[in-house]
Structure 1
Amino acid sequence: MPLPIVAVIGRPNVGKSTLVNRLAGGRDAIVHDQPGVTRDRTYRNAFWGDRDFQVVDTGGLVFDDETEFLPFIREQALSALSEARAAVFVVDGQAGLTDGDREIANWLRQHPVPVVLAVNKCESPTEGLALAAEFWELGLGEPYPVSGIHGNGTGELLDLLVTHLPPPEEIETEPETKIAIVGRPNVGKSSLLNAFVGENRAIVSPISGTTRDPIDTLIQHGDNRYRLIDTAGIRKKKNVEYGPEFFGINRAFKAIRRSDVVLFVVDALDGVTEQDQKLAGRIEDEGRACIVVVNKWDAVEKDSHTIYEYEKDLKNRLYFVNWAPMIFVSAKTGKRVENILALVDTAIEQYRRRVSTAVINEVLEEALRWHTPPTNRQGRQGKIYYGTQVSSEPPTIALFVNDPKRFNDNYRRYIERHFRTELGFEGTPIRFLWRGKKARDVESPGSNRAIRV
């Protein structure tokens, strides 16, 4: 059985995301003094006592308005409630009982999910009980005064909440591959997520900035589990104002950092922009495996040569990740979307791969035979003594040399190309550490001699 889910429900701006951050022990959910910041449902791992569970943050519920994203937010909240073992209904103790609270309470009574009533913004322990008393009228049991900001009362709330969750022995956790879906606004990231899961998991809209919080979704494909993380579209820094979009982009960068593989989504109609190139550099800097997903391929006029010319142009422009495999898809029609996970499996295998020192040095010796290291103006030549892989995720190879300064960028790129040609490593960056050491102190492992040029 996967981790049980707890849905957090309430009106806009009652402090749901603040309470989610408190329950999950972090600050991943975006909190801003503006209604409607949270739109999609977002999942966070949490625990209390001996119980592990997931908390689902949802958008603010309004039933008498059909403007902009509100119908989609209601759909997302309903989806969260349908998969939940329990719900936390958050109300605003400072604002008091409202008609909107009554509407949500009536809606919750139509679902067979146990509800815990949290009266938020009760920072004062003495006044909290008085503020909460008004909410007995909702008929959902005892209202618990809490403070999402300061944590007051959350322990008592969690004590009651975990009584509705299954015991730990019924829960099994399996290893999973974390996949971040990143790209500029409106390239189809949320559509791609929905195509993976076969439902409207994320709100899709032509309005830029629809997705704000990172959206975690678990899927099973064969024997493998994947956590898909949809992220906010990343625009140029100068175009981003402080507020929900600013926080969303920061969360997107954090999603890259906590992922194993990045699906870098590019718009086939727009081609590669300057912002795409900066994002490619960010992915390479973070050392993450990568798949370039060219979306909206169905909208491109093409012949039998188009895809090859397009791929060549993209690899030239996305030179930071020219080692990443490329796939042309349509999230709208679902074409080739299912093939992405096969590329992810290959990339993650290479990302975690370890190569023996003996093989590293065989490849290195061959590279040196084909192209000797450069010689400086004083006639001093670079020498590579031996290499060994020191870590994976991403593969990192230490090369012991006489002087790292004697190896220019062109030669370093040549070494990387040769290693990729001989060993593959498709879909993952390779790190090379050029370490200076005196020739007399270094010998190749398993050999009586150093590698000489």
Structure 2
Amino acid sequence: MKPTLVLVGRPNVGKSTLFNRLTKTRDAIVADIPGLTRDRHYGHGKVGDKPYLVVDTGGFEPVVKEGIMHEMARQTLQAVDEADVILFMVDVRTGCTAQDKIIADRLRQSGRPVFLVVNKAEGMRREVVTAEFHELALGDPLAISASHGEGVHELVELALESFPDATEDESDKHPKIAIVGRPNVGKSTLVNTLLGEERVIAFDQPGTTRDSIYIDFERAGKKYTLIDTAGVRRRGKIFEAIEKFSVVKTLQAIEDANVVVLVLDAQTDISEQDAHMAGFILETGRALVVAVNKWDDLDDYKRDTVKREISRKLQFLEFAKFHYISALKGNGVGGLIGSVDVAYAAAMAKLPTPQLTRILMDAVTAHQPPKSGPFRPKPRYAHQGGMNPPLIVVHGSALDKISASYKRYLEKTFRQAFKLEGTPLRVQFNVGANPFAGRKPAPLTENEERQAHRKRMVGRKLYGKQRKKD
């Protein structure tokens, strides 16, 4: 097991900056705004031969009793319970505050090893900047600069000193599932229901989730990674810079995932934004499962209306499985993971070349591609060119003349033959170049020119004799 390092501290002390430094990523959104991180954010790092898990938490306000800050504090305390080592971060520029003392008292009660980290100390004498933090009674303070990397390596080595070397299982491949949709459709509630715990903040306020939160979990002996993402609004309604970063993180999470669960709100109309999001998922080639949430409060007439609207506006998602659920009550959620497994298996399917070619020939025999001018395209054989999504490369002649409708016919034929459900399928035509096109003949040698001249002269004589006979 990897040791878990949990970053704790007041808002805006540099926890997310240190998280990015420890994971060598830019996964956590960083800005000079307090309270930016809200949920627990997990990442992987390694120093020497020791891998570790690092957890970024929201700004810790232990005395707040309600609202979003209270929910953030609950998330932080849950992370503390999971910790092997706590890195308690303070800000040298603001000094030791009353809130730092309250947090220090709370962390002492946890029974976990705590390292006091004095951040933003670049270019300063360490013994001077750490002096006032001794009153927190958490051992010798360690001065670092998360943004510049000063003292970070020594900090991690010291935190992991008592843990043995661990080995990472590089062969562990499991599905990454991104939960996406508009704000306030119930994405975080769905994540919590799938996990069976209140793992991310689900608050009745649009925009509660700002970052993409990666969560590893097991279900029925299988490993998965869930990605809770920020809600994506229409471009014209995005005003805050932070919200723009959140949208970018969501789009990156879709590209990073193997399977995407698109969450729709049954109690509101299927909007253009839903269709645009579905189109982006299709364009990136990710396997897809659609969850229509808040289904339990609708009467039969409204349910029929919603289904007709989905069929009209999202008809291009006919390959995807639709689930009608209530994330809050758990109704219909059980089948989601089964559909995710089916979609993941289809996206990662290996398609044998002989079978692909036989299916292609049968399809061409049943329905030949229409002529384009004097030529008829001739598909000859096919092979697999990639996975996630499955890519089938067809070779032949004049394939650049194949129409879009015939391409859709081949896609449908391959999908039905291999029973690929829940994933887009792409067919690519590889047109062989004409080896004689644009090629100039080689110049004749002197001997070849003489032979060619003789043949011309003999031909003329025979032609003259034939005319005399006539």
TM over 0.5: yes
Aligned-partner residue type, residue 368 of structure 2: T
> How many residue pairs were aligned?
436
1:235 aligns with 2:233: yes
Structure-2 separation of matches of 1:281 and 1:171: 35
Structure-1 separation of matches of 2:127 and 2:370: 77
1:234 is displaced (CA, Å) by: 0.7
> How big is each residue's C-alpha offset from its partner over 1:131-186, in whole Å with a ceiling of 9 and x where there is no partner?
11211111111111111110001011111111244541699984322111111111
Aligned-partner residue type, residue 198 of structure 2: N
SS at match of 1:297: coil
1:368 aligns with 2:364: yes
Structure-1 separation of matches of 2:170 and 2:347: 26
> How big is each residue's C-alpha offset from its partner over 1:274-297, in whole Å with a ceiling of 9 and x where there is no partner?
111111111112121111111111
CA RMSD of aligned residues (A): 2.1
Matches of residues 246-395 of structure 1 in structure 2 within 5 Å?
246-302=244-300, 306=303, 310-311=306-307, 313-376=309-372, 378-395=373-390
Alpha carbons of structure 1 residues 416 and 145: separation in structure 2 relative to 1, 3 Å: same
SS at match of 1:150: coil
Q: Is the 8 A contact 1:311 1:326 kept in 2?
A: no
Structure-1 separation of matches of 2:169 and 2:351: 36
Aligned-partner residue type, residue 104 of structure 2: A
Q: Is the 8 A contact 2:356 2:382 kept in 1?
A: yes
What residue in structure 2 maps to residue 120 of structure 1?
Answer: 119
Structure-2 separation of matches of 1:47 and 1:325: 39
Matches of residues 399-438 of structure 1 in structure 2 within 5 Å?
399-437=394-432
What residue in structure 1 maps to residue 48 of structure 2?
Answer: 49
Aligned-partner residue type, residue 102 of structure 1: K
What residue in structure 2 maps to residue 33 of structure 1?
Answer: 32
1:311 is displaced (CA, Å) by: 4.5
Matches of residues 90-169 of structure 1 in structure 2 within 5 Å?
90-124=89-123, 126-168=124-166
My pick for the range that moved more, 359-368 or 314-323, is 314-323
Aligned-partner residue type, residue 154 of structure 1: V
1:87 aligns with 2:73: no
Structure-1 separation of matches of 2:313 and 2:167: 51
SS at match of 1:163: coil
Structure-2 separation of matches of 1:286 and 1:74: 36
My pick for the range that moved more, 332-341 or 100-109, is 332-341
What residue in structure 2 maps to residue 444 of structure 1?
Answer: none
* Higher Cα Rg, which structure: 2
What residue in structure 2 maps to residue 244 of structure 1?
Answer: 242
Alignment gaps of 5+ in structure 1: 442-453
Structure-1 separation of matches of 2:369 and 2:168: 60
> How big is each residue's C-alpha offset from its partner over 1:180-214, in whole Å with a ceiling of 9 and x where there is no partner?
11111111100000101111111112211100111
What residue in structure 1 maps to residue 9 of structure 2?
Answer: 10
SS at match of 1:349: helix
SS at match of 1:374: coil
Q: Is the 8 A contact 1:373 1:407 kept in 2?
A: yes
Alpha carbons of structure 1 residues 9 and 408: separation in structure 2 relative to 1, 3 Å: same
What residue in structure 2 maps to residue 211 of structure 1?
Answer: 209
What residue in structure 1 maps to residue 458 of structure 2?
Answer: none
Structure-2 separation of matches of 1:169 and 1:127: 37
**TM-score, normalisation: structure 2:** 0.88
Q: Is the 8 A contact 1:266 1:276 kept in 2?
A: yes
* Identity value in percent: 38
Q: Is the 8 A contact 1:397 1:433 kept in 2?
A: yes
SS at match of 2:277: helix
1:242 is displaced (CA, Å) by: 4.1
SS at match of 1:82: helix
1:422 is displaced (CA, Å) by: 2.1
Q: Is the 8 A contact 1:385 1:439 kept in 2?
A: no
Q: Is the 8 A contact 1:232 1:249 kept in 2?
A: yes
Q: Is the 8 A contact 1:316 1:322 kept in 2?
A: no
Q: Is the 8 A contact 1:184 1:276 kept in 2?
A: yes
Aligned-partner residue type, residue 107 of structure 1: R
My pick for the range that moved more, 22-31 or 62-71, is 62-71
Structure-1 separation of matches of 2:191 and 2:328: 11
Structure-2 separation of matches of 1:214 and 1:152: 27
SS at match of 1:249: helix
Alpha carbons of structure 1 residues 395 and 132: separation in structure 2 relative to 1, 3 Å: same
1:326 is displaced (CA, Å) by: 1.1
Structure-2 separation of matches of 1:83 and 1:360: 49
What residue in structure 1 maps to residue 450 of structure 2?
Answer: none
SS at match of 1:368: helix
Q: Is the 8 A contact 2:376 2:398 kept in 1?
A: no
**TM-score, normalisation: structure 1:** 0.91
Q: Is the 8 A contact 2:379 2:399 kept in 1?
A: no
What residue in structure 2 maps to residue 199 of structure 1?
Answer: 197
Structure-2 separation of matches of 1:18 and 1:285: 32
SS at match of 1:199: coil
Q: Is the 8 A contact 1:403 1:435 kept in 2?
A: no
Q: Is the 8 A contact 2:361 2:380 kept in 1?
A: no
Structure-2 separation of matches of 1:396 and 1:62: 50
Aligned-partner residue type, residue 239 of structure 1: K
Q: Is the 8 A contact 2:57 2:76 kept in 1?
A: yes
Alpha carbons of structure 1 residues 171 and 382: separation in structure 2 relative to 1, 3 Å: closer
Q: Is the 8 A contact 1:12 1:60 kept in 2?
A: yes
SS at match of 2:161: helix
SS at match of 2:45: strand
1:397 aligns with 2:392: yes
Alpha carbons of structure 1 residues 142 and 396: separation in structure 2 relative to 1, 3 Å: same
> How big is each residue's C-alpha offset from its partner over 1:372-414, in whole Å with a ceiling of 9 and x where there is no partner?
21222x3322221211112222211001132343112111111
SS at match of 2:300: coil
SS at match of 1:168: coil
Structure-1 separation of matches of 2:121 and 2:84: 26
